[in-house]
Amino acid sequence: MLVSLDFVYMPSADPAAESRHFCEALGAELVFAIEAFGTRVAMIRLGEGSPALLFAGHLEGERPILVYRVTDLDDTAAKLLGQGCKVGDAFGIPHGPCREITAPGGHRLAIYQLTRPEVAEHLAGRRDF
């Protein structure tokens, strides 16, 4: 049902400082650093095959959101709802439509369908900050 864990959205008060620390101290690769729509988001990669970490200035709360890619968003959401999951309304991320899943204990998950694969190449290398 879930294809892969592609992204981990990390709430951040300072995406520039946090992404810089991960790059300098842990050897992460900075994929992009974007300032748009009144917020900042920086994407880093810690290693080959690992999910991207996105430090996002606009996210509320303190817990990260694990974002899993699925083949069919509506079908997966329907299955999860049928299994007792609480699935939120659709919203967009740059790579495609997404829906948040409310999990016990305050854990944060989301599912998305990759409908805009060209976005990754378009954003790579962008440095707004």
Q: Which CATH superfamily is domain 2-123 in?
A: 2,3-Dihydroxybiphenyl 1,2-Dioxygenase, domain 1 (3.10.180.10)
This prediction's pTM:
0.94
Q: Which amino acid is at 121?
A: E
- Mean pLDDT value of segment 101-119: 95
Q: According to the model, what pLDDT value does residue 1 have?
A: 81
User: What pLDDT does 125 receive?
Assistant: 97
Kindly write down the DSSP assignment for every residue of 26-85, as one continuous string.
H-PEEEEEEEETTEEEEEEE-STTSPEEEEETT--SSS-EEEEEES-HHHHHHHHHHTT-
